[in-house]
Amino acid sequence: QVQLVESGGGLVQTGDSLRLSCLASGRTFSTYAMGWFRQAPGKEREFVAAVNWIGTNTDYADSVKGRFAIFRQNARNTVYLQMNRLKPEDTAVYYCAANRATSSSTWRLNHSYDYWGQGTQVTVSS
């Protein structure tokens, strides 16, 4: 059992930065790959970024590559999403998720994740 709670969302302007946090419960957080997904109004949930359990490998959607960074601090049971140069099209509810699988081939797939947070709203105005 893993529980995830996102925080750090808010209302910002184009070009601003935000850092999202995801706090995990449980003793086994460090054994999971962690991902961030987002869902905009009227759209399907989409992959944003993922990081392996020791923080040495990452993957990003093309739409955020070079602007966003995912990293984790296992001692704090926390994974972060640093978002820079935000655009209106980044507006969405952002979810963190935990993935027991070790292969990066599973990171972009919704069904590969075992636990999900409740989401945090990010709104980027023009």
Write out pLDDT tens, residues 19-56: 999 999 976 777 899 999 999 999 999 999 999 988 99
| Phi, psi values for residue 19, rounded to 5° | -120, 120
Give the per-residue pLDDT at 103: 85
Give the per-residue pLDDT at 45: 96
Residues 6+ apart with CB under 8 A from 112: 99, 101, 106
Give the per-residue pLDDT at 114: 92
Query: What is the H or E stretch that residue 69 is in?
Result: strand 68-73
Q: Residue 4 — pLDDT band, cuts 50, 70, 90?
A: very high
Give the per-residue pLDDT at 27: 66
Taking only the tens place, the pLDDT of each residue in 73-107 is 988 999 999 999 999 999 999 999 999 887 889 89
Mean pLDDT of 1-9: 93
